[in-house]
Amino acid sequence: MAKITRKPVPRKGAVPKKTAKAALAKPNAPAKKPLRATKRWTPAEVHEAFSRFRKANPEPKGELEHVNPFTLLVAVVLSAQATDAGVNKATRALFEVADTPQKMLDLGEERLRDYIKTIGLYRTKAKNVIALSAKLLSEFGGKVPRTRAEIESLPGAGRKTANVVLNMAFGEHTMAVDTHVFRVGNRTGLAPGKTPLEVELGLEKVIPAEFMLHAHHWLILHGRYTCLARKPRCEVCLINDLCRWPEKTV
């Protein structure tokens, strides 16, 4: 009797060997480019970049509205995972009635919630703002403290909050790393890092002291309006000749 040979039936969903091999060896597939720049900037190049930022915008301002260090602190605490525009919309009315820790306590958590209910995580944030107002009154004479450790000890305030307050309210040379600064630090190669802290320390190391007061705002504004997350506007970028990003479009 003739021997019957059967073709093997592929398992449902299995990728035929030939196709799988071809996919791995795709000769025309674009090679994956590294996401981070590798070549370090020279001190002269860093100086040149920040000179250009300074020339274009000598007095950059943050976009979180506030009227004193306390309202700045509250605005930063409210801005976690929210946009500055969204926070400003809520705080304009809030700061008219509560621009000091005492007035914030007098307003109370429930009414505060009403003012900020358009901001994400508003329940937790309202709790924190009331608790930090109480702590400012009981431990700091109703004033925003001037050291990092003291600011970080306040409910809802972390390292980024302390850096923003120390820089904007007290003129210290701190570098708050938000999503924009993190992206710009990595893409440009100015200060590559896997965490905001790594990028913060890297930027502090390479940026000359003469630029540090405004460096935080220059980098935020650069990330927000030019070095956009999805489609950076490299063609109008002030530092496109210096930027190390392998995917820059100029």
Assess 180 for contact with ligand SF4 (CB under 6 A).
Answer: no
User: Closer CB to ligand SF4, residue 15 or residue 250?
Assistant: 250
Inter-helix orientation angle 196-206/209-225, to 10°: 130
The answer to whether 208 and 248 are in contact (CB under 8 A) is no
Assess 234 for contact with ligand SF4 (CB under 6 A).
Answer: yes
Binding-site size, ligand SF4 (CB under 6 A): 13
CB of 226 to ligand SF4, least distance (A): 5
Contacts of 234 (CB under 8 A, 6+ apart): 240, 243, 248, 249, 250
Assess 237 for contact with ligand SF4 (CB under 6 A).
Answer: yes
Assess 182 for contact with ligand SF4 (CB under 6 A).
Answer: no
Assess 218 for contact with ligand SF4 (CB under 6 A).
Answer: no
Catalytic residue numbers read: 160, 178
Amino acid identity for residue 247 in this structure: E
Amino acid identity for residue 196 in this structure: P
> Out of 195, 227, 229, 246, which residue is the one contacting ligand SF4 (CB under 6 A)?
227
Tokens of 209: 């002291």
In angstroms, the CA 32 to CA 88 distance is 40
CB of 177 to ligand SF4, least distance (A): 16
Segment interacting with ligand SF4 (CB under 6 A) among 7-15, 136-144, 168-176, 229-237? 229-237
In angstroms, the CA 147 to CA 153 distance is 10
> Out of 45, 226, 229, 230, which residue is the one contacting ligand SF4 (CB under 6 A)?
226
Closest-CA residue to 218 (of 157, 169, 175, 165): 175
The answer to whether 182 and 195 are in contact (CB under 8 A) is no
> Out of 75, 125, 188, 218, which residue is the one contacting ligand SF4 (CB under 6 A)?
188
Tokens of 121: 């995580």
Assess 233 for contact with ligand SF4 (CB under 6 A).
Answer: yes
User: Closer CB to ligand SF4, residue 133 or residue 240?
Assistant: 240
Residues that bind ligand SF4 (CB under 6 A): 187-188, 226-227, 232-234, 237, 239-240, 243, 245, 248
